[in-house]
Copies of this chain bind each other. A is one copy, B any other.
Amino acid sequence: MTIDFQPDKPIYQQLIDRLAGEIIRGIRKPGDKLPSVREYAVKTGVNANTIQRVYREMEQMNIAQSRRGQGTFVTENTERLQELREQMKEEYIEYFVQDMSDLGFSLEEMMEGLKLHQKEKGDSHD
């Protein structure tokens, strides 16, 4: 298991994104226990302090809850998860449209680009 697929983005942020994604998509369900700090550190090859920070921030985002001596768990608050998903979606779209508009691309060109991208992706892993 390796990380750093997006250079520049801090490791702890990448890990948050990944875990949050897994939670939002339901791969990790409400109430599930996340790997222990040390375990996940070994698995990812990242220092335990960094993992600690990941869990702390996820707790502050209300998508995980840590209990000393027990472990860290996915929040049971499913509403919050839905809310977060919408929120992140809006944010991604916002930035994408802004960046593409700055380059002078129209909505049609953006959608065309997406379709093309999908197609290539589909062809490439056959």
Contact = CB atoms under 8 A, between A and B. Distances in A.
A67 to B, nearest CB: 9
B93 A113 contact: yes
Contacts of A1: none
A24 B104 contact: yes
A114 B118 contact: no
Query: How would you classify the secondary structure of chain A's contact residues: helix, strand, loop or mixed?
Result: helix
Contact of A96 (B5, B96, B115): B96
A56 B121 CA distance: 33
A60 B110 CA distance: 28
A120 to B, nearest CB: 10
Contact of A21 (B6, B88, B103): B103
